[in-house]
């Protein structure tokens, strides 16, 4: 893939201030479609569309214990990565000569790569957490983790969104966080039954962190994305607490007996998994839309903002509360109400 060299190679995408990095659209020619689609797909493995499908699917169809671990580590890693970006303020690779294939996150800073951090965290947390619960060849587990994280990391270079240093920084930070937090993983698993005050702490602390997020020189989606992530983590934690407090689900064993043989993927199992996933996603999307519309309407009325003013959503006092309420509700719904709906519909 190379940029087209002509007088129209670069077009101004939007007006920017002297403090905001320019966003350009570059015309380019794809010379190798295999690499192009491979790394565009790999980049999607580190984006929201992957996490809102993989993490709920893991919870509903594989192992709630495993999904909780993945979500907690994912939230921790992403928050540190997002904050580090707005503290360090290292720019992304210059374009040109780099061709940027993504547009939404151009306004964010580059160091560290949160795609690399999240992919590494998900892959190796999955690896470590399944070692005592499921038996399958360790080499296979390790290869899956390495291939997954490597593809996402390389995609950030191919799409022109990060430098090698950004990616390596993200991987090393994640590795350090996993090493430092691993001794506390079992303790964290028990927090959902530790105290009746846990939901209060889970709401207050993340909301405080979101509302006091580092101030940027210009608007970028970083604060909104961080709020979404912390709120989803808070919702999931509260959902697990609700399940324990009201005895809606039994507490998983800290270490299940190792499953000697993982069941083969049969047609009925596949149909059941897809059905449970479809039912759950539909309910989540419905809850997200309803809560978002309601919270925005309340905030617009409170701050006397015109409803059709989309720019108002970027204001701190509106963006953080509506995002936080919306995705906390999504997390609670995914861990509490969706499993209840599955049981009601007779979906084991």
18, 59, 162, 342: which one is catalytic? 162
- Average pLDDT of span 122-150: 86
Q: Does 11 have pLDDT greater than 60?
A: no
Using one digit for the tens of pLDDT, what is the confidence trace for 223-248? 888 999 999 999 998 998 888 877 77
Q: Does 198 have pLDDT greater than 90?
A: no
Residue 13 — pLDDT band, cuts 50, 70, 90? very low
**CA gap 96, 124 in Å, rounded:** 35
18, 59, 115, 342: which one is catalytic? 115
pLDDT of 257 reads 56
Neighbours of 97 (CB within 10 A): 10
**Per-domain boundaries in the chain:** 38-189, 206-256+267-348
Token duo for residue 318: 């509106």
Average pLDDT value over all residues in the chain: 81
Q: What is the pTM of this model?
A: 0.82
Q: Report whether 38 contacts 124 (CB < 8 A).
A: no
- Average pLDDT of span 117-124: 92
Out of 86-90, 104-108, 111-115, 258-262, least confident range: 258-262
Using one digit for the tens of pLDDT, what is the confidence trace for 138-191? 888 889 899 999 999 888 888 888 889 999 999 999 999 999 999 888 777 776
Q: Does 264 have pLDDT greater than 70?
A: no
Q: Does 109 have pLDDT greater than 70?
A: yes
Higher-pLDDT residue of 10 and 66 is 66
Q: Which residues contact 173 (CB under 8 A, 6 or more apart)?
A: 77, 80, 81, 84, 112, 117
Residue 115 is among the residues annotated as catalytic for this protein: yes
pLDDT of 121 reads 93
Please give the torsion angle defined by the CA atoms of residues 102, 106, 110 and 114, in that order, rounded to the nearest 10 degrees: -60
- Average pLDDT of span 63-68: 86
Residue 16 — pLDDT band, cuts 50, 70, 90? very low
Residue 342 is among the residues annotated as catalytic for this protein: no
């Amino acid at each position: 893939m190379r940029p087209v060299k002509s007088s129209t190679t670069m077009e101004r995408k939007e007006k920017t201030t002297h403090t905001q990095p320019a966003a350009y659209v570059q015309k380019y020619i794809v010379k190798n479609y295999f690499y192009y689609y491979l790394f565009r797909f790999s980049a999607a493995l580190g984006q929201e569309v992957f996490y809102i499908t993989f993490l709920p699917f893991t919870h509903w169809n594989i192992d709630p214990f495993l999904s909780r671990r993945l979500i907690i580590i994912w939230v921790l890693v992403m928050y540190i990565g997002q904050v580090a970006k707005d503290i360090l303020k290292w720019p992304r690779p210059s374009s040109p000569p780099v061709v940027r294939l993504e547009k939404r996150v151009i306004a964010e800073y580059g160091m560290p790569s949160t795609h690399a951090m999240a992919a590494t965290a998900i892959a190796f947390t999955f690896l470590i957490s399944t070692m005592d619960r499921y038996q399958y060849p360790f080499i296979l587990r390790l290869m899956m983790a390495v291939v997954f994280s490597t593809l996402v990391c390389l995609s950030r270079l191919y799409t022109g969104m990060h430098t090698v240093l950004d990616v390596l920084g993200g991987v090393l930070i994640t590795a350090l966080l996993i090493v430092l937090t691993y001794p506390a993983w079992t303790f964290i698993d028990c927090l959902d039954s530790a105290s009746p005050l846990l939901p209060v702490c889970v709401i207050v602390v993340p909301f405080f962190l979101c509302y006091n997020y580092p101030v940027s020189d210009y608007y970028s989606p970083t604060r909104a994305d961080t709020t979404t992530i912390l709120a989803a983590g808070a919702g999931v934690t509260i959902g697990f607490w609700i399940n324990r407090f009201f005895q809606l689900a039994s507490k998983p064993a800290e270490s299940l007996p190792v499953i000697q043989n993982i069941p083969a993927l049969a047609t009925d199992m596949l149909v059941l998994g897809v059905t449970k996933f479809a039912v759950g996603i539909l309910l989540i999307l419905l809850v997200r839309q309803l809560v978002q519309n309601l919270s925005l309407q309340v905030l617009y009325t409170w701050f006397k903002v015109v409803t059709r003013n989309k720019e108002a959503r970027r204001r701190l006092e509106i963006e953080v509360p509506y995002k936080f309420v919306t995705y906390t509700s999504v997390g609670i719904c995914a861990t509490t109400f969706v499993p209840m709906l599955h049981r009601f519909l007779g979906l084991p």
